[in-house]
Structures are given as C-alpha cells and as structure tokens.
Structure 1
Amino acid sequence: MFRQKFLRSLLTFLCAVSLPVTTAWAAGSVQVSVDKLNVRSGPSLQDSIITTLPVKTVLPVLSTKNDWIQVKLPNGQSGWVANYLVTQEQTPASVAQIESTTDKLNVRSGPGQTYSVIQTIDPGTRYSIVQKNGDWIQIQLSGQTKGWVASWLVKEINSGGQTSTKPSPESPPAANTGTTPPAKPGAVQGASLTLEFAPYVYATPDASTPAIGQLHAGESITVLTQQNGWIQFPYDGVNAWISTDENSLPTLPNTGTGSGTGAGNTSVTTPPVTQPTSPAKQTVRVNTDGLNLRSQANTTSAIQGTLAIGSTLTVLEKQGEWYRVQAPDGKTGWVAGWLVTVSQPTAPTPSGPYVTIINPDTNVRSGPGTEHEVISHVQTGEKYAIINKAGDWFQVTLSNGSTGYIAGWLVSASGAPAVIKSNELVGKVIVVDAGHGGNDNGATGASFSTLEKTVNLQVALLLRNKLEAAGATVIMTRPDDRKLTLQQRVDVAVTNRADIFVSIHHNTHPNTATNGSIVFFYNQGNSSKLASLVQNELVKATSYKDLQSRFGDYFVLRENPVTAILAEIGFLSNYNEEIRVRSEKQQDLAAEGLYKGILQYFSSQNTQGS
C-alpha cells in the first residue's frame, strides 16, 4: 500500500519536472538557486567550466539557447548556466529602490557583516538598487559610491510604489516540529513532496552512515534531485537525503543514549518526556540587532516584536532549535536558537554522591538495563543525586521527585566509583585548550556573528566531560571566558606533564564556500598519528567535509614538547557550517569525534607497548 502511494507521489513529481520548459526567459535577471553553480563557456555540459558562483547571485540575462541561459558575470565576462539551476528575477524596473526601516543602518563595503561600514543611512531616503547577492543588496549612494545593505533591514519599492520587507535571515525551523519547513537558503525551488512515512535523514545517500535526523509522515519537503532510490532535499541549512524505502534503518551516531552496545535501545522512536522546569533559570543573549520575537517556533509565524543586540532573555522552554523566552519588558515569544548565545544556569549540586550528565538526551530507564522502558531524557551538565547502584547502572532522583536508572558509563560520577568500560584513558593527563577567550574573540561568523571563543569553549567542555567519564585527568587551559597567552597554554601542558595537548578552534576563509574540518600537527610521530586518528573520527561523527590532517606551524604546537594537535572543527565564514557549529547536537558530535580519536590513539599506544 505504501509503495503504491509513494510511487504515485514520486510519479507526479517526475512528470512535473520532466515537462519541457515552455516559458521564455524574458530579458532581465536570474538568481542562482544552488551553491557553487557551474558557469560554462557554452550552452552544454560538454563545454568547459569557467567559474562557479555562490547561491543567490543575481545575473543579467544576455540570451538563451534550449535549456541554457547566457549571463553577464560580475567580472564583466559572459558565460552559460543551466536554466533549471536559476530562478527568474523581476526586471530592474519593477524593483528599483530601497528605503531603510531602521535608524543608522550600516552600509558596508561588501555583501556581509564582516565587511567594513562605509556610512549609515536613515529612513525617509530612497536609494537605487544596483544588484543583489544573497541576503544583501548593493545600492547607489552619492556620486559614484556604492555600498551594501542587509535586505531584511530595508523595504524594496517597485515602480508602482508598492513596498515589500524581507524578514531577518533566520534559518528554517528544525525538523520534527510537525510543520512544513519553508525553503532553506540555497535550496532549489523544486517540486514539493508530502511524505507518507517517517524517514530518517542522512548527510549522504548511504544508510550505513549516521542518521542526522528524522522527518514525520505528512511533512512536505522540496525535492532537489533523486537518484537510485534516494531523494535530496534542503534540511537545517544543508542538503540532505532520505531513502524512498520506508524500511531502511539508520545507523545512529553515538550520542550517549541507550547502552554501550546499542542492543535493545529504542530511544530513537521514543518521544522525550517533558521534565518540569528547573528552579535555576536559563538565559540567552541576543547576538543580532532586530531579532524577531515570534508567536510560534518557526520562521513563518507572526512577529510580535524585535529585540536589540545584547538583550538578556529568560528561557521558558525549548522546542528543537527554538527557545520560548521572556523579554525584559515581560513580553514572551519564540526566538531562533542560532541567533542567540545560551547561558547555562548553575544547577545546585546534590549534597551526597551524584552523577553529572555528559551527553544530550541521555536515556533514563525504569530499571537497570536496556531492556527496561525509557521514562525520561536528561541533558548535558545536569546533576542528579545517586540513591542506589545496580551493576553498571546508577539509580538517581530526578527533578520531579521520581527515580530512574542511568547507564554508569554515560555519566561522570562524584562520590561514587566511576563505571569505566575501557581502561585506555585511565591515568592519562589530557590538556584541553579552548582557543581564544576574554577580549580575544577569535574569528567572527559571517552570517550570524558567532564568536569563535564561545563555540570553542562549548565543544571543549563537552570533550572534558567525555574524557573524565572514561577515567582521564583533564586540565582545561581555560574553563570559562578568559584570555591566556599562547605561552601560558603551553605551560599548562608542560607543568602538568600532560600525555597529550588538544587545542580546539573554528576556522574562517575569504571564500565563503570553503567548509570542512582540519586537524593540525607540527611534529611527525605521535602528534601526526594523533591528528590523523582524530581527523578520521571527527569527520565520521559530524559529517563535515574531510580536509585531511596536515602540518600547521602554530605556537601551541611548535613550542610544545607534549604530543599536541589543533583541531579546526568547521568554518564560521560558511553559511551552512556556521549554522551547524552553533547547534548543541553538532557540538556534541564534534566532541564525540575528538574523544573517539583520542581513545583510538591511546589504544594503539597500549597495543604497541604490549
């Protein structure tokens, strides 16, 4: 029955996309619908690629031939693009001017928040549109001066005097909200397909790789392409895949749920049990000016107000990547989690023995074993009093007064013997170095102004928890937001006679299309081996692009006598990757990859020693 329904849906889609293009491309402009669009020297796939263009680039049309469009490139040359990878823009005459919707709007030298401010403009004055690039509009200022403004902070005025205002650049809501997500940045506006089952989502069309999420029956997706039983669609800022086989089973990443072996763990289909709000109040800090406060946890709901950068909001609840918050004026609503920085409250520490949760969504079961029902989920950093121990399981008191069992190898125990499944890290001294800090922010995200120092520390703290739970002694160069010199960081490793030194960073590049993970080493031997193992596990856990481990001439590596690596998790200059590195789940997956690489390193050292 499912097969018939799905094939009917798929047939409808294929018929829609296979119809010949009969609409003529009027002289005007087209906008690039995919990232890294190939521009060719002629109107066919056999012609050579002369350049690539980022998503949302607007190009003037010169001519057309069959399914190809000749366009004028930003450098003045011409080239050919496939018409099914671009969308037709309104002619310049129909949208000719913009007007600022905020006082002192920054006009920048380029299309992004990292470019310098060349002047400010105010409401009441209209400026002609020169061109568009993604969410940015180039306008004509006085004389020959041109500059770029954020499209979500202006209104566009067409020749008929009508205006339109673009919402702030929020990414679409996370999956599993039960709503149909709007098209994501960079998505091709293709056919819509309504799902009749609940498929798992993969980073690549391969069910043997870790699943990165799950969709609901009844949810609609925008189809980008389909091949060999797989459909590609935009998901959480990246292009992901689902299988057309409803019986395809996922290989889930080890995020700390269930048992060590995974046997009998059905937590992926068990809905999380809502926990009572903890007395400790969590807060978030607004990272962008004019942040939308919405009525529901998605980008299509009504805007109830805007919030200034730097505002501190009290968290009332969380749904996916969204937070329901209370503003200083008492108003409540939902804000996008990738546009705020979360401040974790300091929970009260139990007076007796207790466990600290080291992975998000850790299962709490009704009895001491994976065969028992999952009754709740608990989160990273939470502490629960131990009231009993049964084998490798701790019985704990939950925040609502009930009790449950947590696998001992998934928590850090205080005041009670730790449960350790392997001995590779027992007795090892590991220095975890969160790069930058204090008034040294490191890199700044190009799209959401993410501070590198913040995400460095978030991943470092998650890694510390995992290493300590495995028996290692972990020393942080900075456990909070403080600045250290490079020499001080090295001194921590030397003074404590560390076995290894792991420095955590996030990258940036002038080319915003650049993305992926790199683990650097300076010395051949143990350092290069550690880097290679960590690189492999990091990309396996996160599905980030593998840019390979490589030599790096960095002070904390070069001047360090300890086996040392420096991990660049992802690129803050890349739109999709900045969204991902801000995600709590992705941060935990990064920490898990680092942890597994370190574990492999010490396991191999023990094997050599024996």
Structure 2
Amino acid sequence: MTIEKESVVLRSQPATNSQAIDSIDINANVNVISERNGWLRVRYKGTSEGWIPKWLLESDNLVTDQNLAAHLLVASPIYSEQTTDSQQLADIDAGTYLIVNFESNGWVQVVYENQYGYIPTSSVELIHQDAIPESVPDPESTEESLPDEMTQEELEEAERLVIVRQENQAFLSAPDLYSDIIYTPSINQRFELIDITTGTDETEFYLVEDETGIRGYIESRIAALGSYSLNHVGTTNPGSLADATIMIDAGHGGEDSGAISLDNITYEKDVTLRTAEILQEKLEAAGATVLQTRSTDEFVDLDERTILSNEANVDAFLSLHYDSSPVPDWHGTTTYYFHEDDFDLADSINQQLAQFELPNNNVVFGNYHVLRENNRPSVLLELGYMSNSTDIDYIRSQEYHDRITDLIVAGLENYYNQ
C-alpha cells in the first residue's frame, strides 16, 4: 500500500492519542497486516509495526489525525464509555459540531455539558477544528468548558519531557550501557528529549539535554516521557472489590513461552495461566467482575492486551509474570508500576506479597508496554524466578499458587477499602 498523504503518523495503538512511533514519508510503501475499526495495522520500513487511521487516508479534507472535530451525520447518543451498552449521557442532533479529544478504535471522545463521552465514529464526519462553520455556536470548545484540555503548546512540551523514575541510574555519554557516565541523575530529574535511538545491543535510549545544556543518553527503561500519562486514569473508585472490574493478564502464551526453568520442564506461559485461573476464581468469589486477556495457550500481542484493558474501562489491570536471570541467586517477588498514579495500587498489593516466604524486591518503576500504554490502573507482578532453584520449587507447587493468589486478593481488598 502506498501512502499518498503527508504527515501520516504511525502509532502504537489504534488511537490518535497513543504514542507516535514514526512519521511515514509521502509515497512510502507499507505492508498492511490487518484492519480494525477504521485503523490499519501496518509494517513500515520492514521493521516498525503500528497503526494508521484509514479514515485519514480516505479523507479529502483531513491532513492530520490531530485537532479534530466531529460533524454528526445522524442523531446519536453520547455514551459514558466506548460501548453502546454503557449509559447514554445525552442525545445529540444531526448537524451538531463537537470538538474531538481523540479517536480510538472506532469511537470519538467529546466533551458535552462538562462531561467526557463517546460517539461511534461511524455516526460522524471527522473534520479539522478550523472547518467548523463560524455561524455554528460551539460552547463546548471554549476554554471555560474544557478545564482539563491541554493547549497544543502544553502537549508538545509534555512530549519533549523526560523524567528519570529510578534511583542510582546513569546519564551516559553514548547510547551504550558501558559508555562513560556523565553523572548520576536524581530521581524525578527532568530533561528535554532531543531524540530516541537504539544502541548496538538493541537497548533503547533517550538523547536528552539537562537544564544546564549538557547532552547525554538515558536508558528508556528507567525513564518516562511526560506525555505517556496524559490520558491515564489513576483511580476509578468502585467502592469495594465486589464492585470492581479486574482484568488479569497471563503473561506470554502460544509461541511465546516466556522464561523456562533451568531443567527445561516448566514454562512461564503455563504457570502464569495457572495463576490467572486460580486468581479469577478467588476474585469472582469476592464479587468482582473478572476479565482475562487470554484463557488458553494462545499468543496475544502486547498492543492487544492494552487495547482490551482500555476498551473495557477496567478498574485494575494485573499482568502476571515469572522472572528469570543469568544470576542464579536472584529470586523473590517484585511489583512494577509505570504511571505515578498507580503507585498506591502497586504498593497495596506488594505489602501483601512481602508477607510470603520468598524475598520481596519492593515496588519498582517499570517501563513495560502493558503498563506504559495502559490508560487504566495497572501493575505487573513478577511472582518468582524460574531460574532460581528455591523459587522454582515453590512455583511448581499448588500450595504456592493458592497462597500467592490469596495475597493478591487481599492487596486489592485493602486498596479498594482505603
């Protein structure tokens, strides 16, 4: 497929507010992998995979997927969530113009009477905001009625912001973990993003500049871009675990085995699914609604896992994993979070995991796709080391899975009862 438009952005998810991976050159060729809800999943330059909006390619008027407005072609309800089964906030007449915050997977988010809501993209014509007729009153687009909407300048500033999120890390002279260390940045130190690059060992680095003008490299694993959390929902306040919707993500699956025990008998993909099944039973017994990203030995890519979470508007997303290391002495449990608003959820679960017999490695920032691209409260739990002889004996026992899932449920109960 040939891209015949300028400024087409390859994105990490089928959403205009998701991370930009690359900008596709006009007349460049892409390979279409699949199509979903008005978006094309494509491969660009043979290596980069992501999503581009088909509706943008087919539009004679749109030149970008940003600064959109919706012109309603038919009368339509505004829904509270991205599903027609959700609450209808209002009925909007055909011919109405509304400012669009973003388009995601066949839905546009708009603001109406100071409430965020969703309209199916199929019910609207997407236009640039400048194309709204001047004679049409648009009270929803005023600054007063959009107190939480960022200006374009503020958004661009957030996209250029890099925040160090782990202690005792290195500000490097080159995109190489073994290059000279310029200095050790403080936690939450801010830098300006200059570029994103990859080292010879495929490690991703941010080329950044500090406030004094010194340039260097920071490993992306230990830092976050300021724009990543703009659409993240920090708390959902269901009231109790019984009223919560929890998504369990059994890590790996299918051809992706994950970590393998040293004797090649136990596969991470199998034990994560085993833990997920037991955890689902216990959460449902506590009254929670439980969803799974996979319930069989199947491959589910990382994008699909976060899309499932975002579309379901879950109250918590729990990604289950088992660690591995070339250092045989490393063992125990670790709780990872990405978005700062998710620390309390991670800490509540980790306080319970710390009561288990295995060592606990605390709550740690983790730049993992299923956390970074997740708009819902989310944590990733490493529940032991497949590469450690002590841990693997626990992992293979039924008693372990019963105990560890009890602790996770207790952590969630404490979190929702705060």
TM-score normalised to structure 1 length: 0.29
TM-score normalised to structure 2 length: 0.42
Structure of greater Rg: 1
Higher relative contact order (CA 8 A, sep 6+): 2
